[in-house]
């Protein structure tokens, strides 16, 4: 924990971290494997998170939220992901939407949408990525055409976290293809109205608890008041949130790697082979020492970026470094921890196999690793 300045955390932050830690250990730990085995969205996990005031973390207290800081949110998600990445990432997407609605929505749209997001009676989802677009968010093709007092949405979104069960959809759509990214607007859409078609949840290598799927819009009519961010602001808002998202993924990686190191260390202390404890074999000791170094470096990069965001600075390069490094060392580190446990490392009576699958997924969310290289190299060479 030396990489985090605890003095920067408020009493509100510390209370949220304590709630999240206790909830993850008492509720999530006993159910995460079941959600993965059943390959479904962790609905009861989200409902329980709401009961523990974990669904309005970025919303001001006057609106019923917890008003945690960037640093506090990173620590909350590190603790939850230390138990299960899927439910942590689900909460990231929901909380980011709730925070965005609190900051940007006005009038009826705000009053009708925000309370349900805060108390967890509504589940939120971001719809940015498309099947043929991937990381090139400026090239989205879902269209929004104005028709009197309504908008008509057409097209398909992919990789929608929470999509299988979401109630509120934050949809990025192109209002003027000739305008490029300046034509992108954002709409808040009721997921249960005509014209919204959900595909079945994806079959993945892991992380099924986050309920990722595709959502299609077939001449979906939404009222004019559904326009959340007008053309020109939608794309900018998406990009402004990406640095925070990358830092949060990095923090979640730290949580998974920390649990893996602890699990493997406890195992080798109590396992004998070839006449000695596994913990006394140099090969085992050095492998775990490498993981420990990578964890420390990952936390330093992650919370350096989190502090930059907390202080209001441009943290795009710091966030890119943190996500690139954390995702890489978490995947290899979890695998190393499993390796020192021998064949028992592959059993699903501990979280390491689940963490390994999730670690692979972290390479793709919120900008693939290659996108981080674009950001970093641009800062060096352009």
Over the stretch 61-111, which tens digit does the pLDDT of each residue have? 999 999 999 999 999 999 999 999 999 999 999 999 999 999 999 999 999
Element containing residue 272 per DSSP (H, E): strand 272-273
Note the pLDDT of residue 264: 98
Band of pLDDT at residue 1, cut at 50, 70 and 90: very low
* Domains (range + CATH), the chain: 6-122 (1.10.540.10), 125-234 (2.40.110.10), 241-381 (1.20.140.10)
**What sign does the CA torsion over 249, 93, 206, 217 have?**
negative
- How many Å separate Cα 305 from the centre of its chain? 16
Given a cut of 70, whether residue 4 has pLDDT beyond it is no
Band of pLDDT at residue 5, cut at 50, 70 and 90: low
Where b means 16+ CB within 10 Å and e means fewer, 294-313 reads bbeebbbbbbbbbbbbbeee
Note the pLDDT of residue 181: 86
Q: Please state, rounded to an integer, the average pLDDT across all residues of the chain.
A: 94
Note the pLDDT of residue 236: 83
Long-range residue pairs from 304-309, CB within 8 A, at least 24 positions apart, any chain:
304/3, 305/243, 305/246, 305/247, 305/250, 306/70, 306/71, 306/74, 306/247, 306/251, 307/5, 307/8, 307/71, 309/70, 309/243, 309/244, 309/247
Mean pLDDT, to the nearest integer, of 275-304?
95
**What sign does the CA torsion over 362, 364, 367, 370 have?**
positive
CA distance linking residue 26 with residue 44, whole number of Å: 14
Contact 144, 172 (CB under 8 A): no
Note the pLDDT of residue 237: 83
DSSP class of residue 125 equals: E
Mean pLDDT, to the nearest integer, of 158-174?
96
Other Cβ atoms less than 10 A from the Cβ of 266: the count is 13
Band of pLDDT at residue 136, cut at 50, 70 and 90: confident
Band of pLDDT at residue 382, cut at 50, 70 and 90: confident
> For 14-73, what is each residue's pLDDT tens digit?
999 999 999 999 999 999 999 999 999 999 999 999 999 999 999 999 999 999 999 999
pLDDT cut 70: percent of the chain above it: 97
CA distance linking residue 355 with residue 98, whole number of Å: 27
Note the pLDDT of residue 2: 47
Note the pLDDT of residue 6: 60
């Amino acid at each position: 924990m030396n990489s985090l300045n605890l003095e920067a955390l408020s009493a509100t932050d510390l209370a949220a971290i304590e709630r999240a830690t206790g909830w993850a250990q008492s509720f999530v730990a006993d159910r995460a494997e079941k959600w993965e085995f059943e390959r479904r969205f962790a609905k009861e996990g989200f409902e329980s998170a709401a009961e523990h005031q974990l669904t309005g973390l970025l919303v001001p207290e006057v609106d019923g939220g917890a008003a945690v800081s960037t640093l506090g949110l990173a620590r909350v998600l590190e603790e939850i992901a230390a138990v299960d990445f899927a439910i942590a990432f689900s909460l990231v997407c929901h909380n980011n939407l709730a925070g965005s609605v609190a900051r940007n929505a006005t009038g009826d749209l705000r009053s009708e949408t925000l309370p349900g997001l805060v108390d967890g009676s509504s589940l939120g989802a971001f719809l940015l990525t498309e099947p043929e677009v991937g990381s090139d968010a400026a090239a989205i093709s879902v269209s929004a055409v104005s028709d009197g007092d309504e908008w008509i949405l057409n097209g398909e979104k992919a990789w929608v976290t929470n999509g299988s069960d979401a109630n509120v959809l934050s949809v990025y759509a192109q209002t003027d293809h000739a305008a490029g990214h300046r034509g992108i607007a954002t709409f808040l859409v009721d997921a249960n109205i005509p014209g919204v078609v959900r595909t079945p949840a994806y079959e993945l290598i892991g992380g099924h608890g986050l309920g990722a799927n595709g959502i299609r819009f077939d001449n979906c009519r939404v009222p004019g008041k559904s326009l959340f961010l007008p053309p020109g602001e939608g794309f900018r808002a998406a990009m402004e949130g990406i640095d925070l998202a990358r830092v949060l993924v990095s923090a979640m990686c730290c949580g998974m790697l920390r649990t893996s190191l602890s699990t493997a260390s406890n195992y080798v202390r109590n396992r004998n082979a070839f006449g000695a404890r596994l913990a006394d074999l140099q090969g085992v000791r050095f492998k775990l020492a490498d993981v420990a170094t990578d964890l420390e470096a990952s936390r330093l990069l992650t919370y350096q970026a989190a502090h930059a965001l907390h202080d209001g600075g441009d943290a795009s390069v710091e966030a890119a470094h943190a996500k690139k490094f954390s995702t890489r060392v978490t995947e290899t580190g979890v695998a190393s921890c499993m390796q020192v446990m021998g064949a028992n490392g592959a059993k699903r009576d501990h979280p390491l196999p689940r963490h390994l699958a999730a670690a692979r997924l972290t390479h793709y969310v919120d900008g693939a690793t290659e996108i981080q290289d674009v950001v970093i190299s641009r800062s060096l060479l352009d």
